[in-house]
Every structure is written in C-alpha cells, then in structure tokens.
Structure 1
Amino acid sequence: MGRGENDEKTKMDHEEVEGGFCDKFRGFPKCIGFIVGNEFCERFSFYGMKAILTIYLLEALLFDDSTSTAIYHAFTFGCYFTPILGAIMADSWLGKYWTIVSVSVVYCLGHLIMSLSDLVGPEPYPFRGPSPSGKIPGAMIGLVLIALGTGGIKPCVSAFGGDQFKDGQTKQVQMFFSIFYFAINAGSLISTLVTPLLRDDVQCYGADCFPLAFGVPAILMVVATILFVVGTPFYKRNPPQGNVVVLVSKAIGNAVKNRWNRESGEQRDHWMDYCDTTIYEKKLVRDIKFMLHVLYMYIPLPVFWALFDQQGSRWTLQAYRMNYDLGPLGKMKPDQIQFVNPALILILIPIFEGAIYPILDKCKIPNRPLQRMCAGMTFAAGAFVVAGFIQIALQNTYPQPPAAGNSGLRVINLANCDLQPTFNPALPGTDAPSFEPIAYKGDQKLYDVPMGNHTLDFSCTGKTSLTAYKVDMGDQEFNTVIITDNNGALSAPSQFHTEWDKPEKADPKMRVIFMLDPATVGNNVSVRIENSDAPSQVYHTFDAEQHKATEYVVKEPGKFNVKLEYKDTSGESQTETVGDGYTTEHGGGYTVVVYKNTEYEVNSYIDAEPSSMSILFQIPQYFIITTGEVLFSVTGLDFSYSQAPKSMKSVLQAAWLLTVAFGNVIVLIVAEARLIEDQAIEFFMFAGLMGAVVIIFAIMSYFYTYNEIPKDDEEMEELGKSATNGDVEHGKVKNGVDNPALTTDGPVSPGVLAGETSYITQL
C-alpha cells in the first residue's frame, strides 16, 4: 500500500472514530470512564483487603507474628510475580480484553472466599480461644486466587486504556495516565482508611468484623468487573501480537545453548553473540545486550523492596502494640497508619521535582539516576534504624518481671478497715521489704519479696487478725492475695497466681475472681461480662465457684459491665448488674474481683499495664522510607526507560517487577527462619543489610557505563504506534509494550517523570 493509500485510510478511520461514542469529547474516548472506574474499584478492593490482612492472620486465624509476616509476604510475592503470566496470556493468547474479564472473575471469587471463610465454624471468634482451623483453608485459597487475579490484570488494564487512543494523541494519553494513576491512589488511600474502620468499629460475634471488612472489597471488585463489562460495546480491541518477554527468553535460551555447544576454541565478544541470527534478528540481539547491561544493576534492588513492603507486616505489627488514642482526633487503627505512605508520596514528589532536584542541580551536586537510587536505599536503611529504636522504646514499656530471686506480691484489701501486713517471722537483712498500710475499698499494694515460702500476718483495727497466712513465692512470679472481712474476722483464700506479662495479641485479657459464697445468692451462679455499649456482645460468662479464679480470656477493648446470673430460692432465673463502667485498653491484663460486703461490688485491677507508646511515633520512619521511595522508585523508572532500547522497555518493566517479588521472598525467609527473636534486632539487621547493599550498589554505579541507545530509522517510524502494556506500582511500570506518551528513545527527563509518576506509588 502506497503512502497516498495510507493517508486516505487514516483519514477515513479518523472520521469513523470521530463520529463514534468513544470520541466526542475533544478526542478523549468516553469509554475511558469505564476503565478508570474499574481501576479505582479494583485498587480499593486490593488495598482494602491487604491493609487488614496482617491483623486478620494474627487475630482471626491466630497465627503468631512470624507466620503472619511470612504469609503476608508470600501473598505479596504472588501479586508481583503473576503479572508476567498475565502479560503472556494477554499478548500471546486471549488479548487484553478477555484476559481482564476472565481473570477478574477469579479475582472476585478470591475476595468472596476470603469474606465467607471467616464465617466457617459453629462459633466464629470464640473469644480468641479454640484454633480456627476451619477458616484457614478458605483463607489460603482466597489469597491465592486474589494474587492470581490482581497479577493477571495488572499488566493489562492501563495498556488496554492506552489502546483506546489514536496515533498522535500524545497529550490525551498523558492526561489519561494522570487520571488513571489518580484513581489508583484515590482507591488505595480511601480503602486503607475505611476497611480498618469496618474491621474494628463494627462488631461481629463480639469481635472485629472481618467478614464485613473483606466483604466490602469483594463488592467493589464485583463492581469493577461490571463496570468494565458494561463498556464492552465501546472498546477498541487489538488482537494478541506476541509477548516480547517470551521472545527475549527464547533468544537468550538459544544463545546459552549455542555457547554451551560451541566448537573448541571458538570465542565471541559477548555470549549473546552465540544467538542464531538466522532465527533472531541482529537488532534483537543488540537490544538484549543493552538490556542485560541494565539488568546487572537490578541485582541488589530486591533488598530495598524487602524493607519497603514491611510497612504492611512488621511495621503494622509494631503499630498493633502501640497506643492508638490520638486525643480529640479519636483513635487510629494499627492498619490505618499505612495510609501515611501514599499521602506523603503525593506531597513529596512535587517537592522533589519542583524544588529539591533543581536546587541540587544549581549547587552542581551530582544528581544522576543511580546516585539518586543509592540515596533512596540509604534512606530506607535509615528508616529501619529509626524503627529499631522505636521498637526498643516500645519494648521498654512492656511490664518487666521481678528481678531474679524475687517475686511480686499484690495484696488487695476488701475488708472494712485499713490493713497492715507483716512478715512473721520478720525477714532477716536490711533489704527486707516493709509493708505499708493498705486502705479499704479495694485498695491494693504491690511488693517485691524474696522468692521462697513465707508466713504473713494481717491485722486491722477492730477486726480479728489473720495470722500465719502462708504464701509460696516462686522465682520471678506474680501472686495476688485478697483479704476479706468474714463476720469481723479477716480471712483470705489461697494466693492467686497472676500473669504479669502482656497478652500475646494486642487485645486485652481478663479473668474473674469470684469472692462470693454461692449459697448466699442462690444456685447455679455465673458471672456475665458484657459490652456496656452493646449488651448483645457478651465477652464471656464464667461459672462462679467461691474463691476461684477463671482462666484469662482475650477480649475486645472498651467499656464493660458485670452481671450475676442465678436462680433465686423460688427457682426463678435472675440477672443483676453488680458493676458498670469498667474499661479495658489494648495490651492490658486485668483481674475482675466480684465480692459483697453490705452489697454486691466489683473491682477491676490491672495485672499488666496497657500499651502506652503513641502510634504517632511511627510517623518519622514512614516519612524517611517514603523519601527513599521517591528517590529510589521514581528514579528507577527514569533509569530503566532511559537505558533501555525501545524494544526492551517492557522486558525491563517485567524485571523491575520481579525485584519486588524477590524482595518479599527475603522477608519470608527471615520470618520463617525465626533466627532473631528480638524485633528491634531484626530491624537493625535489615538496616545493616541495606547498608551493605548501598555500598555494593555505589561501587557498581561508579563503574557503570550509561548506554547510548541508537535511534534506528525503524524505531523512529514506529514511534507513536505502540500500545502501552504497562502498570505501575511503587513507581514501577509493569510488563508490556511501550506507549510513546510514556517513553522516548532517549533519557526521560525528571519533569516528564514528575507528570507521569505523581500518582503512581500505590497502584
């Protein structure tokens, strides 16, 4: 076909599209609205689910910290590895449209299983008691399907949007990607704030409502799929044209095979020169050489992502054990703190592009891409140093056991007088503890006493003393003695062993000591602990045995009341509130004592102090690592594009994505190895690992020779005709063929990147 025929056909195609539904607003296809809406809803569903995932694994499935971390990063690995499969499926077999539709169904099914699996079992959330083994298979299947779903559509949606534009619509395509990436961050920001609220503020079976928190993202994914399908009549669909990643892999395999089978003494300048040029073009071989030169610099990059993606695992677990109270601003959920990263990204990118980079240029400070990336790695290491010191400060707020050789003794005075304990006989030595008087009305005193068997006397003015009371104090134990008034005589049951340490999870733990004689209140007495604001949400009901302590049970924090349930002398069931307005807080341990003097009374005592360190102390580490992300991730996009031949840009996008996947494998291995018990030391270990990689990367950067990519006539002619097959996350463009609106044949300027990446950090 001659040039005149080409021009005429282009004119006819242009006129045909101009009159269509998709091209009535200044050349901007209106069908783009379906694609942008799909992306917003899909990102909402993905980040909403991912935000609460670690807490779900910890609280609902009862995994420990290390297992929860390992599962989280295994899931994240799947999300970053499967886009390669999605790109191959779209470019080689089904095309982008049918890949998006088919994989979205799998995606929806995964979300649905995640939501419904949490309802499995006769007693969901049985006070964090029995192992929820029935829920685990469904949850794991759901995570696998979600990873396949999100990975399958990642390389297709933005590319499919780029396909809707005509040749030469560079400005419109740039606008599309700006809107597209804004929708990405809007979805992720909103979901990261909303789904933790659905989890924590709505109660299901007296505990966090994970079915709802997973259910809303499931609904949004269904909406995303419906939106995309509704736009079907208006889409332009390109047939599959083969995947460049597959082509490159075959060419490399051919070169490796031929080099292995080469004749003795045969030497060529580069091992790719052994590739059979009768099968693969010389230009392809040349471009692969350029690509391999860049891939060499990718080797240390997974370590950065190993640190970065711990925001959703280890850093969330750190926040989980902090104080969420923000005063007049209410309470922040531990999984909500993750929103700080995308919020800061939107602030910092314009600052760097508009102020910091220009200032560095004016000061003639070296500011090349690899130097920026090295600085970004350094910031990531610094963020983990800060996280380590925050962890040390947090652990210092945990209750400490008595010193070796000592025990903790708590005496609670329920007698109607001021109580004076004494040792009988007195303990020898000048360091023997002296007992202060304990006031009435449930007052308590805590004492450090030497371990061993001791005898105590308790005296009160006007009361018959309790003498020769024996206590058995084990090494570093914590015991409680409760003194009551029995018809004018002091009395006490045997000591109660008390747990001084914090609950394993962040939710508070509680037990009840029943000091009443059931004969005085009727038969079949039980103590009912329930939510003061929602009486239907019972925390626990304890069978009341005189002078017995129940086991500790983990419960939701908040206000609670105490009721007695019993049958009176006529056999009628009675319920009587004996205490109200008591509060439990995250990380605390509590003993509730039910007793009676002239009337029923309840006292609540703190066994382990609740979490006291504010969650806001995490803000500095989030700020530092987000600064590192701007320097590393956005600049890495610049470096990859400027250093890759046009034909290899999509391959480098796939390789960049794999660095994220393998970074998560590093965390998975560390978590499962369980070699480091102290979390602060683990943070410092990652900081040190990142520091070592910074040195290695700096040396590699010093000796790196920047590629000079030739501008072939063929490439220049094709410029503007390629469809995007990319997706971006953490500043990364993902698998696919390049779009001229996003790429050039030379270096990408920081200004261009600012326009294209200001919304892309959370895709």
Structure 2
Amino acid sequence: MDEASEGSRLLLQEEGGGGDRERLLLPQDADLITGDGSVDTKGRPAPKYTTGNWRACFSILGNEFCERLAYYGIARNLVTYLKVNLHLGNLEAARSVTTWQGTCYLTPLIGAILADSYWGKYWTIAVFSSVYFIGLAILTLSASVPAMQPPTCLGTVCPEASLLQYGIFFIGLYMIALGTGGIKPCVSSFGADQFDDTDQAERAKKTSFFNWFYFCISMGSFISGTIIVWIQDNSGWGIGFAIPTISMALAIACFFAASNIYRYQKPGGSPLTRICQVAVAAFRKRHAKFPSDLSLLYEVDGQTSAIAGSRKLEHTNELKFLDRAAISSADVKSKPFTDPWKLCTVTQVEELKILIRMFPIWATTIIFSAVYAQNSSLFVEQGMVLDKRLGSFSIPPASLSTFDVISVIIWIPLYDRILVPIARRFTGREKGFSELQRIGIGLVLSILAMVSAALVELKRLEIARSEGLIHEKVDVPMSILWQIPQYFLVGAAEVFTAIGQVDFFYDQGPDAMRSLCCTCYSFSGRLCKLNRTDPGFIHYNSRRRSWMDI
C-alpha cells in the first residue's frame, strides 16, 4: 500500500458487471470522490461511497478498544508486579512506573513526526503496533517462565532479580511504551481522516467519531481496571499478561481488516522543518518591505499546495511579520527551484500561524489536565483519611477513580444522542456546540469538581475538629462515598474538554500536521505530572505538614 504514490492521471475505479475497471476522472465525477485530497489503497482519488466513513471507522474503534485494554491491562497493576514479582521496594517501584508512564507520554512525538513526515498514519500504526505486540509478548514470557523471575521470598528475605531478568522485563516494557506512544497520535487522526472535510454531512459525523473513540478508550480502561486486575491478583501474572497480549493481537487484526476501504492522506514532509524554514526566511527578510498587494506573496500555481497531503491555505492578516517569509522578487515564479530557507509559500506561512494561534487554547486546557491529575493524587490522599468501611468491606481509596470512567461511559451516549440534538436546535450547528464551547463547558465542570472536593475537605476538617481528631492518625468518621460526586464531575469534564480538545486540534490544525497537533493533549497531561506546584504539592505549611495530616 503506497500512500505517497501519484499517477500521471487521475483514475476512478468503477464496479461493473465484468468486475472492477478504471477510467479517467471527469469533471462531472467530482461528487463521486472525496474533496479533501484523500486517496484509496492504490493511491487513486478515494471514492466517496465505497471508502471511509463509518464502514472504515468500526475497525478503528475496535482497534482502539483492544489496544487500550492491552495498555491498561499492564499499566493498572504494574507497580504491584514490580513489588511482588521483581522484589522492588516501594520507592523504586513507584519511580519505575512514573518513568515508564512519562516515556509513554513523550513517545507520541516520534509517531506524529513519522506519520506526518514520511510514513503516513497507516504505516506508522502498523509498524508501532508490531513493536507493541512484541513488547507484550516479552512481558508475558517474563511473567510465565520461572527462570525469568527471581526466587520467591522466604519470609522477609526477598532475593533480588538478576540483571538479565530485569533487562528482559524492562526491554519488553519500554517496547510497549514506544509502541503505544507511536500509534497514540495517529489512530484518532486516522479515524477522523475517514470523513471528508468538504462534505458537511461527513464533517458532523467526525465529532461523533471522536465521542465514540473516547468511549472505546474508557471501556478498555474499565475492563482492565476491574476484570484483568482481578485475574492478575487471583489467577497469576502469566495469564494476566497473556490477556493484554491477545487483545493487542486482536487490535492489529481489526486494524488490517479494513485496509481496502480506508482513506489515506499523503505525508507532507517534516512539519518541524517547514516551521523552521518559515522562521529563518522571515528573519532573513526582516527589513524587506511588504508589497502593496498582499496577493503577490509567493504561492505555487494551480489548485494544489506544494505540501503533499495539504490543501492551500488562504492568507490571513494576523502575525504579519511571518509574511516576510513569502515576499518574493518579481521573477521568482519563472524559476524552476527556490530555496525554502529563503522563500516559503503562503500555505507554509499560514501553517505556522495556525500553530501559534492554537497555543493559547492548548495552554488553557492544562487547567483541565491539572484537575484530572488529582484522580490519582490529591483525591486518593483525601480518601485515605476518610471512613473506608462499607459494611464488612473496606473500599480501596484509589478504586473510586472507577467512577470517573463510569461517568465517561454514561456521559458519551447522553452527549452524542441527547445533548447534541437539543443544542443543534438552538445553535444551528451540526455539531451542537463549537469545539471551544465544548471545551469551555468542560472547564466549568472541572471547577465544579474541585469545588465538590473542597466542600468534602471542609466538612472532613470540621468533623476532625469536633471529634478531637486533630493530628490523630485515624480515619475521620465521614464516608469515603462522599467523594463520588467529584469523580463523576471529572468524568463529565473529560467528555467535554478532552474530546473537544482532540476535535479542535484536528479540525483547526493544518492538513499535513494533524498527527502532530493530536499529540498536544498528551503533552498537557505530562506537564501536569511534572509540575510540582499542583494542589498535591502545595498543601504543606511551613513545618512541612500536610493539611491531610489534620
């Protein structure tokens, strides 16, 4: 399958009584093919009625569900495996998991650059999925073969794992990090590529795709955090890791099953190189005067862009200093070649302008990521000092994050099937809400989640004072179930902000940079994990005592 192949003629495939045949594409055939430049498996203009759309997306959604089930099947209980089977201490195990998760957040940049620049999304997903599967297989072998694990503990004496045993396990683990990171920015954007941007009906379906895409992520996470974790704790780690491995094999099979009906966007070359070219060219010509008619700024002739897989972008008047990169001499168009480090097209300049204009939106969504990060930090700490009893059962504080996932699973169908049709009547938008409206609603819900957590904390402190439990190492007689609303509100905020953010970056991002733009969400999450000034780290007084100790 060659996404970058281009024939000298535009051909259209037809189905006839004697089988498929090809003919020249005629002007009256415009309604039969996509208008966004996508091609079919053989590099021809993609037929609108036999490729893409939901028929192709079902395979992508199945792939995402199985892949997320595999990922969370490893991630949810990884710290337990490191402590119990590899005999790492608490600090070492936690540090190893944090480092691995950080790698999972950073590797999407590799996949995004390769997809947008050279391989295309399809082959990037295919290659990194194979790496992913091999990593899972190595982990399964490591957990199944006794020689690949240290001897069992004798009382309190736990033999250390050998260098070889550590090496095999962590090679598999970091192959998973590379695999999941490599495909993460590509799958959502590849799914969105199946809907024609120039067709209003298909554009509306794209937002619905992002909703169900996130639904599949949440379902995979929910099943992994309940069923697979239980299997690992009760039936052994060999079978507990084998299930994610089999799930990843199903994900790969599901993805390849629809190869003949996918729509493909051609890679446009390195986006980072194009960004640097605009910056350098604009700086070199910082003293150049703008032409009186800005339509004279340099752009290639014809209807297609000089960037493969990208449509031409209209000139905008913002960030005008960058336009200097497209100031050309009168005879430049007569030359067969121009130096892109001295002269860039208007489309190339507009790509950088779009990225700069999107940055403030990305920055505001860090607020949501900071709230979401409390699910595994501040909220858990709060739960640890509340009454965890439910009859004879003790509720693990971290398990309440399941209500966040349940909230997402409930809210996505409600949003897609009820809220959007109602909003459509008032806004006149096919999507119901614009991407920014959706993100804004989610940010408000994020604030309400923290307000709910604050009210619970105020009540806990009040009870602690009234019961004389200040500075006592005992649980406050207030049920941990009071935390459910804050988890539920975070889940609702995800449906609005997280999905709205992916939709926004895909929709507004340049055609040839969509995988790169879709990595923005994971980077905002990673910044919050690195940020040591979130609420989980500022609740200390001058004596280094946390208010949670009250």
Q: Output the CA distance in 1 between the equivalents of 2:462 and 2:167.
A: 37
Asked if 1:186 is matched to 2:219, the reply is yes
1:76 aligns with 2:80: no
2:69, 2:223 within 8 Å by CA — same for their partners in 1? yes
CA contact (8 A) 1:32 1:161 kept: yes
Aligned partners of 2:133 and 2:249 also within 8 Å: yes
Does residue 286 of structure 1 match 2:314?
A: no
Corresponding residue number in structure 2 for 1:141: 171
Partner SS, residue 268 of structure 2: coil
Task: Look up the SS of the partner of 1:124 in the other structure.
Answer: coil
Task: Give matches, 1:292-691, under 5 Å.
Answer: 292-299=356-363, 301-312=365-376, 315=379, 326-327=390-391, 336-348=399-411, 350=414, 353=419, 368=437, 371-372=440-441, 374-379=443-448, 381-382=450-451, 385=454, 616-637=481-502, 640=505, 651-666=516-531, 680-681=546-547
* Cα distance in 2 between the residues matched to 1:384 and 1:221: 37
Aligned to 1:713: none
Match of 2:125 in 1: 100
Q: CA deviation at 1:322?
A: 7.5
Distance 2:462 2:169 in 1: 34
- Partners of 1:402 and 1:673 in 2: CA distance: 19
- The CA distance in 2 between the partners of 1:182 and 1:54, in whole Å, is 26
Structure 1 residue 648, shift from structure 2 partner: 6.4
Runs of 5+ unmatched residues, structure 1: 204-208, 362-366, 404-500, 502-608, 685-763
Shift of 1:145: 1.7
Structure 2 CA distance for partners of 1:380 and 1:69, relative to 1, 3 Å: farther
State the distance in 2 between where 1:27 and 1:370 align: 27
Note if contact 2:57-2:191 (Cα within 8 Å) is conserved in structure 1. Answer: yes
Task: Work out the CA distance in 1 between the residues paired with 2:259 and 2:285.
Answer: 55
The letter of the residue matching 1:299 is A
Contact kept, 8 Å, 2:120 with 2:265, in 1: the verdict is yes
Q: Cα gap change, 1:370/1:42 in structure 2, threshold over 3 Å: closer, same or farther?
A: closer
Match 2:246 to one of 201, 219, 232: 219
Q: Distance in 1 between matches of 2:321 and 2:48?
A: 49
In the alignment, what sits opposite 1:88?
113
Q: Which residue of 1 aligns with 2:228?
A: 195
| Paired residue secondary structure (1:299) | helix
Q: Does 1:254 align with 2:267?
A: no
**Residues 231-276 of structure 1: CA deviation (Å, up to 9, x unaligned):** 2774547474225xx33x3233234334655667999964423435
Aligned equivalents of 2:179 and 2:423: distance in 1? 38
Does the CA contact (< 8 Å) of 1:41 and 1:224 recur in 2?
yes
Asked whether the 8 Å contact 1:92–1:242 carries over to 2, the reply is yes
Task: Give the deviation of 1:194 after TM superposition.
Answer: 0.9
> AA paired with 1:97?
Y
Of stretches 56-65 and 656-665 in structure 1, the one that deviates more from structure 2 is 56-65
Contact 1:72/1:313 (<8 A) preserved: no
Quick check: 1:193–1:336 contact (8 Å CA) kept in 2?
no
Task: Encode CA deviations 1:547-571: one digit per residue, 9 max, x unaligned.
Answer: xxxxxxxxxxxxxxxxxxxxxxxxx
Larger radius of gyration: 1
The aligned counterpart of 2:331 is none
Give the match's secondary structure for 1:275: helix
More strand by share: 1
Runs (5+) with no aligned partner, structure 2: 1-8, 12-23, 35-39, 42-46, 291-317, 329-339, 428-435
Cα distance change on mapping 1:643 and 1:110 into 2, 3 Å? closer
Kindly provide the amino acid, as one letter, of the partner of residue 623 in structure 1.
Answer: F
The offset of 1:185, in angstroms, is 3.0
CA contact (8 A) 1:54 1:316 kept: no
Deviation of 1:43 (Å): 1.4
Q: May I ask how many residue pairs the two structures share in their alignment?
A: 457
Distance (Å, rounded) in 2 between the aligned partners of 1:97 and 1:121 = 37
Closer, same or farther: CA 674–103 of 1 in aligned 2, 3 Å = farther
SS at match of 2:522: helix
The structure-2 alpha-carbon separation of the partners of 1:113 and 1:391, relative to structure 1 and needing over 3 Å to count, comes to farther
What CA distance in whole angstroms lies between the structure 2 residues aligned with 1:639 and 1:683? Answer: 42
Residue 540 of structure 1 is matched in structure 2 by: none
Q: 2:134 and 2:207 mapped to 1: Cα distance?
A: 34
Query: Do 2:528 and 2:534's aligned partners in 1 also have CA atoms closer than 8 Å?
Result: no
Q: Over aligned residues, Cα RMSD in angstroms?
A: 5.4
Q: 1:393 and 1:138 mapped to 2: Cα distance?
A: 51
Deviations 1:653-710 (Å, cap 9, x if unpaired)? 33343222322222699999999997955899xxxxxxxxxxxxxxxxxxxxxxxxxx
Give secondary structure in 1 for the equivalent of 2:107: helix
CA contact (8 A) 1:256 1:272 kept: yes
Correspondence for 2:334? none
Deviations 1:131-175 (A, max 9, x none): 644465445433322221111122333454556678968277677
Amino acid at match of 1:257: V
Residue 82 to residue 262, structure 1, CA distance change in 2 (3 Å): same
* Aligned 8 A contact 1:66 1:671 in 2: no
Distance 1:161 1:263, change over 3 A: closer
**CA spacing shift, 1:287–1:615, aligned 2, 3 Å:** same
Partners of 1:226 and 1:117 in 2: CA distance:
24
The residue matched to 2:127 in structure 1 has which SS? Answer: helix
Q: Percent identity?
A: 25
Q: Give the CA deviation at 1:344.
A: 0.7
**CA 1:98–1:309: 2 relative to 1, 3 Å:** same
Alignment of 1:260-271 (within 5 A): 270-271=320-321
- 1:100 deviation in Å? 2.4
Q: Normalising to structure 1: TM-score of the pair?
A: 0.48
**2:313 equivalent in structure 1:** none
Paired residue for 2:158? 130
